[in-house]
Structure 1
Amino acid sequence: MPPIARLHLFLAGCLGATGVALAAAASHLATRGVPGGDAAAAAGLGPASLLLVAHGAGLAALAALGMGFRSRTIALAGFVLALGSLLFAGDLALRAFHGTRLFPNAAPLGGSTMIAGWLLVALGALLARRPRA
């Protein structure tokens, strides 16, 4: 497996696992009778969880794609998607758990970064070449 595909797959696993953990945390936060139960905090974790799981799957697909094509654009897309996911979900999770933000405008920056990452995937599809045998 090429190193970039290995890294994308590693990041995919981390994003997916974190997404599932946030979904579980949201479920527990929303439960009545649990000390510190907070429905508003739980509601904030839902989008973060979904985003991490979805983008983790996207990174796994990029890893698979990276095994058949050589594209710096697709390699860059994986990093951009991971960074955007971490900024966006990290900001939402900090708000839910601690009532504070990662930094001002972290979530919008993360969202814009993810959009750029997906546009890099599209560009990479147009520019990708098969490796020479």
Structure 2
Amino acid sequence: MMAPRLARILIVLAGVMGADGVILAAVAAHQPDAARLASASSMLLFHAAAVLGTLALAERGAIHSGIGILAASGFVVATALFAGDLTLRHYAGHGLFAFAAPSGGALLIASWLALAVAAAWPKRP
């Protein structure tokens, strides 16, 4: 069983990620040379849905809930690094820190692999 408070926090963060993704998509559609914002928007939107889907699978017992929570948390942190770095580069001309976007990308890959492990190694009743 998932920790209800942690699940709610992740759901709230997924909602914020989704809203930010829509905002950045709208800005990218109206600003010239906004490829970074379009990429950041895509990452936010895709991974907001991934967080919600992972939590739903964990709640249903279809995946190992502890590893699923780890994967969902990784999606949130990694997407913040990746999208935050690209957005800051667009508006401020510099990133969060050296290798923030690649670190976020690597953590996204690790989170997807964690989701795969959670499905392959379900928790026994």
- TM-score (structure 2 length as normaliser): 0.88
Alignment of 1:2-81 (within 5 A): 2-29=4-31, 39-40=32-33, 42-69=34-61, 71-81=65-75
The SS at the match of 1:53 is helix
Q: Distance in 1 between matches of 2:55 and 2:96?
A: 29
Contact 1:5 1:67 in 2 (8 A): no
Higher Cα radius of gyration: 1
Displacement, 1:102? 0.7
The SS at the match of 1:67 is helix
The SS at the match of 1:101 is coil
Displacement, 1:6? 2.1
The alignment-based identity, stated in percent, is: 43
The SS at the match of 1:104 is coil
The SS at the match of 2:60 is coil
Contact 2:59 2:65 in 1 (8 A): no
Match of 2:109 among 115, 119, 122: 115
Structure 1 segments, 4+ long, off by >4 Å, are none
Q: Which runs of 5+ in 2 are unaligned?
A: none
Alignment of 1:65-104 (within 5 A): 65-69=57-61, 71-104=65-98
Q: Distance in 2 between matches of 1:73 and 1:124?
A: 5
The amino acid across from 1:26 in the alignment is: A
Contact 1:6 1:63 in 2 (8 A): no
CA RMSD of aligned residues (A): 1.6
- TM-score (structure 1 length as normaliser): 0.83
Q: Which runs of 5+ in 1 are unaligned?
A: 30-38
The amino acid across from 1:49 in the alignment is: S
The amino acid across from 2:21 in the alignment is: G
